[in-house]
Amino acid sequence: MGHTRGVRENIRAALAWADPRPRRVGRRGLFLAFLTVLDAAYGYALLAPPPGAPALAYPVVPPETWAIAWLTVAAVCASGILAPVARWQFVAAASLNTAWAARFAYLWYRHVPQAWIGMMVWLAFAFTVMVISGWPEPRPALPELLPLPPPDVPA
């Protein structure tokens, strides 16, 4: 019986996502919009690294590949702004932040002295993304009801 309930909820979520009626952007949707702008800006900045950037800054993956990853995650996050369920968008954002933190961890391993700071900041940001992904959306406020007239009290 529990399995059937999960399937029903997944079907309802899929149908709700395909519903063309306009939806309200909630708190998580606004945060995904923020992540979209941030990731797109970061990806765009990586497309043209400053001249003379040291090769050690991108030891394993070239900046163009990172740029594609950031821009892809920006598009994925944008797809979840209005979606009622946006699990994969948050997972993509947190995964990219964790991978970027791993880049700093590798630089720290290669004796770049201040790389641990970048690693800690990006790991904390990935954790923040996952915490926000679990916040419940507030229920919409009920419309104000007209007051009922006082009941007639027989004497």
107-139 pLDDT, tens digit each = 999 888 899 999 999 999 999 999 999 988 777
Q: Which residue reads 């063309």 in tokens?
A: 20
Give pLDDT, residue 20: 54
Give 150's Cβ-side CA count (13 Å radius): 3
pLDDT > 80? residue 65: yes
Mean pLDDT of 81-93: 90
Give pLDDT, residue 135: 86
With respect to residue 112, please indicate whether it lies within any of the assigned structural domains.
yes
With respect to residue 5, please indicate whether it lies within any of the assigned structural domains.
no
Give pLDDT, residue 128: 96
In the numeric block, which tokens belong to residue 133? 């992904």
Provide the domain count of the chain. 1
Give the structural domain span for 60. 23-133
Q: Are 108 and 116 in contact (CB under 8 A)?
A: yes
Pick from 104, 97, 80: nearest CA to 25: 80
Global pTM reads 0.73
With respect to residue 11, please indicate whether it lies within any of the assigned structural domains.
no
pLDDT digits (tens, 9 = 90+) for 4-49: 556 777 666 666 655 555 567 888 899 999 999 999 999 999 888 7
Which has more pLDDT, 155 or 46? 46
With respect to residue 121, please indicate whether it lies within any of the assigned structural domains.
yes
With respect to residue 17, please indicate whether it lies within any of the assigned structural domains.
no
